[in-house]
Structure 1
């Protein structure tokens, strides 16, 4: 019970801080997500034993250029690289292949593709058609949190079939399906209040964040398994590190960005 209370309390504080930063201004959102990114880089660097400040500097440069020139064709190129890298990580996950990084150069490349580029698209996500749209970001977060919450509740109560036992033994197929179903239900509700997109588009976004987000959770679990650690950090009592809290959103962000800006 004590751990559940700690987890609930820290989770509520995290949500309040995150939502407040989104609603206050675009500057507060950029600052907070940038702080999350720096903490994530620190946790991931420890996970892969990468002792260099280059990744922090690189994140700052990439984010500055993306925010300075949001219409640049370079962003499209970075998005393609990020999506392809994510697809390769998904392949390594399901093929049960070890994610290899032999030296500092390969560790830096992995950090850039897996974390820095993805986090940059998380920062860009609420900027739609040249305008900062805080309610778009909140709706996406609601879909993520609904999926995570009901995947946990359904899996805990009726889950029997393991989803990916070698990486995350607690996840079940029933929980995964429950998370997707309730995220789609949430998309129906969101579409009535947020008319930026059609109902069909909100359903597609719900499926993306549910399926890709779950895979992102599994990918991060794979990194932790390889590093032989339980959590990415200790900054959030009951949850672990910032990567443990953002892994689903982080992995799904480039896919949602692509759908919203290039497909709709």
Structure 2
């Protein structure tokens, strides 16, 4: 998770969660409805480039709305957070898919059958949160 090391940074944490959920949801919706070009078919056959771009664009749009309501970071920083979450969240999802392929399992758990398991719901967050935290540290250090 992203540690809260300064006052009011819990808003950045919540904003990051919203960006991750937006990216995941819109990547799924756009990919399912418009996806034609496979992203990494060997690892995750249902992921598409169109889905990735749809999730990224939606996250960038939502980052603007977050900026309007949470005036803690500049707009460019929220947009960068959306880009970071989109790229590294997708990579986290692909890494999780690769683990599942290697283990020859469909779901990473039995609590949420058909959804890939609880770990599959959190893989984007687990992978991207490190890079979000590094970005926030760099942003704080430079400013």
Aligned positions of 1:156-235 closer than 5 A: 156-235=32-111
Q: Give the secondary-structure state (helix, strand or coil) at the position aligned to 1:254.
A: helix
Higher helix share: 1
Q: How big is the alpha-carbon RMSD for the aligned residues of Structure 1 and Structure 2?
A: 1.4
Q: Give the secondary-structure state (helix, strand or coil) at the position aligned to 1:256.
A: helix
The counterpart of 1:155, out of the listed 31, 35, 38, is 31
Structure 1 segments unaligned to the other structure (5+ residues)? 1-121
Question: How many residues align structurally?
Answer: 140
Q: Contact 2:107 / 2:113 at 8 angstroms: preserved in 1?
A: no
The counterpart of 1:142, out of the listed 18, 23, 30, is 18
1:156, 1:249 → 2: CA distance? Answer: 21
2:64, 2:8 → 1: CA distance? Answer: 23
Q: Which moved more, 1:187-196 or 1:234-243?
A: 234-243
Q: What is the TM-score of this pair, normalised by structure 2?
A: 0.92
Q: Contact 1:128 / 1:261 at 8 angstroms: preserved in 2?
A: no
Q: Give the secondary-structure state (helix, strand or coil) at the position aligned to 1:127.
A: coil
What displacement does 1:157 show? Answer: 1.0
Cα gap change, 1:237/1:230 in structure 2, threshold over 3 Å: closer, same or farther?
closer
Larger radius of gyration: 1
Q: What is the TM-score of this pair, normalised by structure 1?
A: 0.51
